[in-house]
A and B are shown apart, each in its own frame.
Chain A
């Protein structure tokens, strides 16, 4: 049943996307590990990690597209779920440091020793176990989304109001995580990681494995999101996006459908955050910054809202452009370029890269479009 659910109505676009992502999962680590450094086809470790980061963003973008593109919930706080997943992974990585920290305390992370804490707070219990930490990567963002959505969707908060509340949510978490007595390392966050499941995080092999894992999770996230949107539930969700009260009068409990996609999406964002942290080596409260969540919305808009593949593509393209821009003399102008890009896309490519490309393709395939007006049914 699961396989049927994930692979139903496979189309060309989805096939190409999966082939590319899984191809990257295989070829990039192989090239990095096996080819000599001087080779033309060798992928340097730094490039691999950079692209690993892009692919984490791609998964985050897919999760946002699921709620925004298909259900019409414009979340301006998806970065919060990403960061919470990241913190859950960070907590595991902190507990793996053991006695190798500056203070050599076998239990307490350095920042707790620095704050003169005597014992581990209860919410850090269990994070030395990898399976438990992975469960939390899903459960913490998922639970927050569930509780938040429960109240918001039941009280029928929609549109701009919902967007503002999600923005407030991530901002509140930003402020909370900045506080030292929250027990998450304050503004320094969590860093200086050593091992992940027994392997050195800095080692080339680990980085290659993390890259491959990111690709696999991106493919899995894509398949799950796609399975949802092509199912009948996906049709209901699109119906909610386009005519919410009509859907209610058909007998669908709109709040429950919204809650389902919102929670699934938050879990997916959490996984993206968890993969991001070991590859960049740090998680701090700035990940909760509202600007991050807004940037995610721009990626999805640029790539093509409501296409999934477009969201992932948009995340990679925009972040690649950001790297290009911010590493040269253009650096001071990046935010202008990003804002300009958003304006241009909204005005000239309202369907994003993928949507526009598909429209062109359709037109080429059948040059004479069927006229919109058909004869009336009754004569």
Chain B
């Protein structure tokens, strides 16, 4: 989707300003502002309940903010769209708990995610063409699941499911990837490989990574945003942020 230049309000890929949302009186997000530039990779950290997942829910259309602006690509108001429309705009999401289609083969999981027209008619008479098959093969190679392509996704280990889900994100070819705790439940070796994989992906996509694992963030080596009680507490390189007294207090002080 190419936004008309005249409607451009900001050059940022993602622009959140003054966003608040509350559930039954509990303010999950308060006055949150955040911008992601095209091609940027950003890590988001914060203690439990800081509003990381809620922020992703707002960006992907699962939750509507009470107030605030959420713009994508400079001109598209995400608060007016539903999940499917936002996904088709080019925002992909990997969930905290790996969610793959257990009763489909690994290859079919990628096929379902592969960028294509999502209408009923197009899927009913779908035929996988050669370039599309090649793309599927490429992705299976990148996430190292090519030899398991005919196995049901449900039979994969936790770490492999995480990778499959990253592969599905790649297949979607989104402009912006939201990745929720990609290293959760992985061995150290898998974590290191995941960091390499994400860095590769970030070369031609914008990525937001939510993560608890400081070692992983350090390996990514990107700008960090610290969330606390629903708003931004600090922003900057990891060393600078982790030297911040408020951040230390929030993470360790209670």
Interface of A with B (CB < 8 Å)? 1, 5, 228, 231-233, 235-236, 238-239, 242-243, 245-254, 256-257, 260, 372-374, 376-379
Contact = CB atoms under 8 A, between A and B. Distances in A.
B104 interface: yes
B87 A232 contact: no
A208 B51 CA distance: 69
Contacts of A238: 101, 103-104
Given A1-B125, A377-B145, A378-B190, A235 B93 contact: no
Contact of B104 (A235, A372, A373, A376): A235
A231 B83 contact: no
Contacts of B104: 235, 238-239, 242
Contacts of B193: 377-378
B130 interface: no
B149 to A, nearest CB: 13
Q: Pick the 8 closest A-B CB pairs, nearest first.
A: A251-B87, A232-B126, A233-B123, A233-B124, A251-B88, A377-B144, A378-B190, A248-B83
B220 interface: no
Contacts of A236: 112, 123
A1 B126 CA distance: 11
Nearest to B156: A374
A243 B92 CA distance: 16
A374 B101 CA distance: 19
Contacts of A245: 62, 83
Interface in B118-138: 118-120, 123-126
A233 B112 contact: no
A376 B160 contact: yes
A236 B112 CA distance: 7
Interface of B: 60, 62, 83-84, 87-88, 92-93, 95, 99-104, 108, 111-113, 118-120, 123-126, 143-145, 148, 155, 157, 159-160, 163, 168, 172, 187, 189-190, 192-193
B125 A250 contact: no
25 contacts: A231-B124, A232-B123, A233-B120, A233-B124, A235-B108, A236-B123, A238-B101, A238-B103, A239-B112, A242-B102, A245-B62, A245-B83, A246-B95, A246-B99, A248-B83, A250-B112, A250-B118, A251-B87, A252-B118, A253-B118, A256-B120, A257-B123, A374-B148, A376-B160, A377-B193
Contact of A377 (B62, B100, B119, B159): B159
Nearest to A5: B125
A246 B113 CA distance: 10
A260 B83 CA distance: 20
Contacts of B155: 372
Nearest to A256: B120
Contacts of A379: 189
A372 B93 CA distance: 28
Contacts of A247: 112
Interface centre among B84, B126, B144, B163 (most CB of A within 10 A): B84
Contact of B84 (A235, A253, A373): A253
Contacts of B93: 249
B144 A235 contact: no
Contacts of B159: 376-378
A220 B116 CA distance: 30
Contact of A239 (B60, B101, B172): B101
B118 A251 contact: yes
Given A260-B124, A377-B144, 8 more contacts: A5-B125, A243-B101, A252-B84, A253-B84, A376-B187, A378-B187, A378-B189, A378-B193
Contacts of B84: 248, 251-254
B84 to A, nearest CB: 5
Contacts of B103: 238, 242
Contact of A260 (B100, B120, B192): B120
Contacts of B160: 374, 376-377
A376 B99 contact: no
Contact of B172 (A228, A251, A376): A251
A248 B86 CA distance: 10
Given A235-B112, A376-B159, A243 B126 contact: no
B157 A246 contact: no
A231 B112 contact: no
A228 B112 CA distance: 15
A250 B108 CA distance: 13
A233 B126 CA distance: 8
